[in-house]
Structure 1
Amino acid sequence: MGGLWEAGVKSFKTLFYKSTATRKYTFEELATLLARIEACLNSRPLAPMSEDPADLLALTPGHFLVGGPLLAVVEPEIKGVTTSIINRWQHLKALHQHFRLRWKEEYLKELHKRNKWRAPTRNLRAGDMVVGKEDNLPSNEWRLGRVDAVFPGVDGHVRVFDIRTARGLIKRPIAKVVLLPMEEVACPQ
């Protein structure tokens, strides 16, 4: 499991350098940006809080830091090129939004990696907690759900799921769903 958080640190460093290397920041601006990014990183789901299929809460690093999930105010998305923004606060907000969008996308891709058939993995089952890939969510929100029903293809592999979320039942393909990292178990051979 140590490789998982090391990969997270590497992706943070790479994205942070790419995002901030083109401009100089004051100490206060950099501290503010890092605090906002820290909240985004510490809101990622690690494992389900319980085995109850009706429970849609996940354990996050924020639970270890403050005893509960990290909350953030939803802000309107800043569109356009961030280098043209004169107001430094607007620039920091745009930089944070850009960072969180790219980091979330890369983090979910890292969790969804498929190795080339070296070891068989199990199909998702009813009751598994998953993260749904959603593009337009606030920085500290993740679309969590439990697999309600599975629809296997002709080859026996599950391709489509019914997922119970806080908003109701939705149908998603396997490409739009990621199993939480602590839930992964290699299938028996």
Structure 2
Amino acid sequence: MSSSPHDFLSLTPGHFLIGRPLTSLPSPLQEVRSPSSNRYERLEQIRLHFWNRWQKEYVSELQQRCKWRRNHASLKIGDLVLLQEDNVAPLHWRLGRIVRLFPGADGTSRVADIETI
């Protein structure tokens, strides 16, 4: 591998997993002998270990978690809200109106008294 930045951009997960792009043709089967089989098993363990770490540590970080990164409009007294209820279909959830807010230490209200409609 050279030190060219372009070379790093062309690497795919397949290069790390099997040493070539995933779309490339499979290598021809060869007769496996005893010393080689131990090496093959070890390479398979390394490949599986890498794939598990890739999935758990890298791929999961690619997902944006916008819910916690964006500020939403603050609740206000008089706002109309939908009350989510377990074991009830969404079309049957009740409507409510905020009558009192309880701000936390950071000034953001996460608890409210609600009057159902």
Q: Give the TM-score normalised by the residue count of structure 1.
A: 0.25
Higher relative contact order (CA 8 A, sep 6+): 1
Q: Give the TM-score normalised by the residue count of structure 2.
A: 0.39
